[in-house]
Structure formats: C-alpha cells, structure tokens
Amino acid sequence: METLLADPDTRALWRYFTELSRIPRGSKAEAAASAWVAEQGRALGCQVEQDAMGNVLIRKAAAPGRETRPAVALQAHVDMVCEQNEGTGHDFTRDPIKLVRDGDLLRASGTTLGADNGIGVSAALAVLACGSLRHGPLEVLITVDEETGLTGAGNIRPGWLRAKYLLNLDSEEEGMLTIGCAGGVDSVATRRVTWVEPAPGGRPYRLKVSGLKGGHSGIDINAGRGNAIRVLAQALAGLAPDFGFELASLKGGNKRNAIPREASAQLVLDPALEPAFRAAVAREEAHWRSALGAFDPHLSIALEPGRPGPVMAQGDAQALVRLLLTAPHGVEAMSPAIPGLVQTSVNLGVVDTSDGTATVSLLTRSSIDASKRALTGRIAAACAASGFEHVLHGGYPGWKPEPEAALVQLVDQAHRALFARPMTILAIHAGLECGLIGEKYPAMEMVSFGPSMWDVHTPDEHVSIASVAQFWKLLGAVLEQI
C-alpha cells in the first residue's frame, strides 16, 4: 500500500487506516482497536479518556491564536461489519484485512474493507497529528459497537463533551451533507425446535441461494436487491408440496443491518426424486432471475450434497418457513416531505436454527416513531401467528434535520469555496450516532459528511482514493473556518 502514502496531504490518514486494518475490530470485539486509538492520542501528546464502554475521547488544544474559537468534536466509530465471501477463510478475530488497490479504488480481498468507518477514525487521528491546521479547541470522539445497535454512542454520559459543534465522519458519498437520519429498533423472534430422525431412505442435500449483492439495510433498502432469506423461503414453500422433503436446518444472513446475500437450507429428500427436484430448482432460479433482473443479475439457487443429521419436526419447519414468508421486508413508506427519501422500512436480516432454537432477526427503521411502532406491531403479529416469541432490542432515536443551522451553512460554504459547487443537503434512511448524541447534548449542532464508498457491509465494499483526498480538504477547511 506504499502508493497510498505518496500524497503528502493524505499520507497520515492512509497510514492510520493501514495500521487500523491490521487490528480485528468486529462489533463488540473492538477492544484492541479502541485501545490502539487511545494510544495514538497519547503518542500525540493529547489528553485521552476512555469510558467503561470503550469509547475514547481525545482532546487537543487550539492552534495558537485560535483559543477562543468554539470547540469542535470529530466523531467516528471504530467497529466494522465482518462479512466475507464463502470460501475466503478469513478469521475476523485474528487476521488483518488484506487491502487491495484497484486504480482509484481501495478494496479488501474477499471481505468487508472497514472503510465504514475506519476512514473517519483515520481522518480524525490525522487531524490530531497535523501541525499546520489552524483549528480551535478539538475533541475526537471514537465510539464502539455502532454497527450492532449504536450502544457505544447510546452510553455516552452527558457532560463529557464540551464541543459546540460535532462533525460526524460516517457518511458515504462525497458532496453530500447529512443533517438528519432515521431511528431504528431490532425485532428478535424465537421458537424452540424439536428435532427428530429423518424418514428412512432419504438423502441429505443443501439448497443454497447465493450471488446476491446484499448491501446496507438502510442506504440500499430501496435499490431493488434480492433478500436471500426471502428467496430461499419462497423456494422452499413452492417446492414442498411436490417433493415432501424434510427440513434439517436453515441459515441466512449474518447481520441484522445488512441485506442477506446468501442463505441455505439442509434438507432430506428421496433420492429418486433428485432429477425432478433439480429441474424444479432450476425453474425457481429462472423465476427469481427474471423477477430481480438487473437489480441482482447474479442470483444462483443450487442443490449440493448435504450433511446427515436430525431434521425439524414438521410443525416447526412449517412455522419457520411461514414466518419468513409473512414477516415484512423492504420499503414500507417513502417520505412525503423529502423526495426520494425512504421514511419507513424493515430488513429481514438473519435466520438461524442452531442450538435447538429457530431465531429470526429484523431491523425496523423510520423517521416517524409512530410508523416504527406500527411496523414492529405487524412483525409481532406475524410472529404470534407462526408460534414465535417476539422481543424488541436496542431502539434508538432519529436525528431531526435543521437545515438553517449555522454549522450546515458553514460546511456548505466551505465546500463551495473549495470545489465551486454546493453540497447536496439531505437526511438519510440509516442510523447515525448523531441521534443518540443529540439526546444527551440537545444544544450541539451536528452534520455528517465523508468520502464516496460503495457496497458497505458486503465483501464488495470499496472506497474512492481521490474522494478521500477531497474529503480531507473539506474537513481541514471547515475546521479552520469555525
């Protein structure tokens, strides 16, 4: 990655990102990365504090002559979504992310890159290391566990921060200034499963859905992409009447905030029916390829050899498939006030039948609390109809847009001065930590911006190197003008 260090303006940023990429930092397992952030702050001679959650707050004094300027907090999260392509063999608890440069793009080899939000963390540290920026008093807040419920930001104590303004560095499109976001809540459905021996003479098979794009369950929920869990459930429901197979297990998705790319079912089938079953599977694949079209052109539904073992009791198997068919997924409502903005959605994110329990996880997002409550009520009703228990976890608030705020105008003007064009000012259908921080600091003005990156939360995640340079210029300009 030596070429990333060639640009003197962004050299420090890329050096920090390269070092951070060597440290395992999946959500709830980012203690080493959090400690590393604190070490960088101390090495730069800054004041460093760390709370019980692992959140790190670093303070740096103002540049000479800027001591009376308003304090600014730079905020990012250190954890990352850990996704990999099947067969990659990456151990996210131990292995470093393998960075791959592809022209202007930076990717990882078979895994998520962690640019979300490693670029933001690295930019904040690079600001602390920069001796030429004429900034006022600075705070750098690096949170933990953003990706699995924003629990780091949710446990920040009131009074810890002193800043008047907060710059969240967790946006994913250059030229976009985010000033609001949706709130969210997790639904977890569970049902105890009875396991029995399969009927004599059956052979184990694995029915696998793969090749889908997946993506961020907020940003990409309206992109028309397939949900591997839903595709698999509908295939199983369509095939069951003619083939009478037994369902041994069902697994799909890894994160409740990522659209599932892959899902598979272990089943037991009369081997005499295998040729007809393969033909029916091929028809299912053709149907779904036609339905998804260019939104997800690489869908695959394949039948493979399975592993022997017990199967689910018929009632349990039917109840699980029924829930996966009836639970909502996708866009529920568009915003009537902001063209193109999703107002309410739900992501059917994870299904798993290990440990004797069938578990289904969904993430509901909405900028309207009443809509969020109504949708989780529908999920609860679908769970009850299929004999599943339903509980809610990790609710977090939205962030109300304030388009006339002074900070919004300042960042936009800095962008115009640098690049001769205004920023696109918007709210997004995704969770940002600003909502939770704003609850604790209601007087603090906040905005979010960042470089262009794509396919976050998937192994196709990639970031534009040139865009990171533009992001860095804007960040410096904003800090010098506050």
Pick from 205, 207, 208, 256: nearest CA to 86: 208
Q: Which helix (H) or strand (E) holds 384?
A: helix 369-385
Amino acid identity of 363? L
3 state DSSP class of 292: helix
Task: Find tokens 């099947």 and name the residue.
Answer: 86
Task: Find tokens 């976890």 and name the residue.
Answer: 393
Q: Report the chain's terminal Cα–Cα distance, integer Å.
A: 34
DSSP conformation letters of 167-180: EE----STTEEEEE
Amino acid identity of 296? D
DSSP conformation letters of 89-149: ---TTTPPP-EEEETTEEEESSB---HHHHHHHHHHHHHHH-SS----SEEEEEES-TTTT
Distance CA 152, CA 251 (A): 29
The residues near 410 (Cβ < 8 Å, ≥ 6 apart) are 478, 481, 482
Q: Which two tokens stand for residue 245?
A: 């197979």
DSSP conformation letters of 227-246: -HHHHHHHHHHHHHHHH--E
Q: Are strands 165-168 and 72-77 parallel, antiparallel or unpaired?
A: parallel
Question: Is the CA virtual torsion 342, 349, 216, 103 positive or negative?
Answer: negative
CA distance readout (Å), 402 to 335, 409, 441, 447: 17, 11, 15, 9
The residues near 325 (Cβ < 8 Å, ≥ 6 apart) are 230, 233, 234, 237
> Is position 332 annotated as part of the catalytic site?
no
Of 116, 139, 145, 146, the catalytic one is 146
CA 297, 298, 301: angle at the middle one, nearest 5?
A: 120
**Preceding omega of 222 cis (within 30 degrees of 0):** no
> Is position 104 annotated as part of the catalytic site?
no
Helix, strand, coil fractions of the chain, as percent rounded to 5: 35, 30, 40
Q: Which two tokens stand for residue 21?
A: 């990429």
Of 30, 79, 83, 455, the catalytic one is 79
Query: Which residues are the active-site residues?
Result: 79, 146
